[in-house]
Amino acid sequence: MGRPSKQDYRYHDDGAVALHRRPNSAMWYARCKLDDGTALNPFSTGTEDEAEAVKAARKRIMFAQVDKERGLDPGGKTFAFIAEQWLKMMRTEVEKKISTKAKVDAYEAITRRYHIPYFNKTKITEITPKSLAAYEVWRAEYWTSGPGAVAEFETIIRQDGKTYLRRPKRVARGKMDAEDTVLRQIFKFAVKEEYLPVARMPTIGGKKQVGNGTQSTRRPAFTKEQAGKCRTTTPTPSIPSPPRWTKPPWRGWKTTA
């Protein structure tokens, strides 16, 4: 797909914001630059409204300017870059016996299957709660209408180094705690390495959805306070004494309570 010609752009803020639409898409895409001429990576504004697209572009410029004043690369590093750096650090921990190979292998499989393909070249500083919500939708549909629905085989690397193909295993939607853990650790690594200001660390994880897309609900239960109140107010039940035989039963004698 070729780059749009100049006449296809709509300029705002003295040329600092340039909007355009791609063929077969109603969404506005933006190219922005800072006051010193530093160009930011093109991105989708996520809206079909031009005024809202301009607002999104101005917000992106503001974030990039703040990053620059903090000594960070405007826009920050991409998610894929940071995820690879994090995986490299995790492999080092395996060598130092800080973590286990099986655990790191599982974490790497998760981030290479879900996180890196989705966020990929998105700047870590550009991932917002809205972006994470969109990822949740994509993840919920991964095995039904997403990439997992069309993948016939996946390559598995065994501990002895041998590889083989198998049909993909569908991971239950309820097992996403591990995926949230991996994503959370990548963001914490970005904060530690100063790729991301701590104030912009998003909240990851929360209420999950069941397979049909509806929000799961917690089973009814007493709270700790309610349970304690029940124990103090409920009377102790009286247990009747067992019957006492006055004479051996095989002689036809009756029992008394």
Contact 119, 128 (CB under 8 A): no
Cα 75 to Cα 51, 122, 203, distances in angstroms:
22, 9, 20
Q: Comparing 110-114, 118-122, 138-142, which segment has the lowest mean pLDDT?
A: 138-142
* Average pLDDT of span 123-137: 89
- Asked whether residue 52 carries a pLDDT value surpassing 90, the answer given is yes
pLDDT of 230 reads 73
Q: Give the integer Cα–Cα distance in Å for 169 and 142.
A: 12
Residue 28 phi, psi (nearest 5): -90, 135
Average pLDDT of the segment spanning 133-148: 81
Q: What is the DSSP letter of 256?
A: E
Which run of H or E residues covers position 3? none
> Is 63 in contact with 80 (CB distance < 8 Å)?
no
What does the pLDDT average to over 2-31? 83
H or E element: which one contains 231?
helix 224-233
Residue 213: the pLDDT is 46
For the chain, what is the mean pLDDT? 79
Q: Has residue 247 got a pLDDT over 80? A: no
Q: Give the residue with greater pLDDT, 114 vs 200.
A: 114
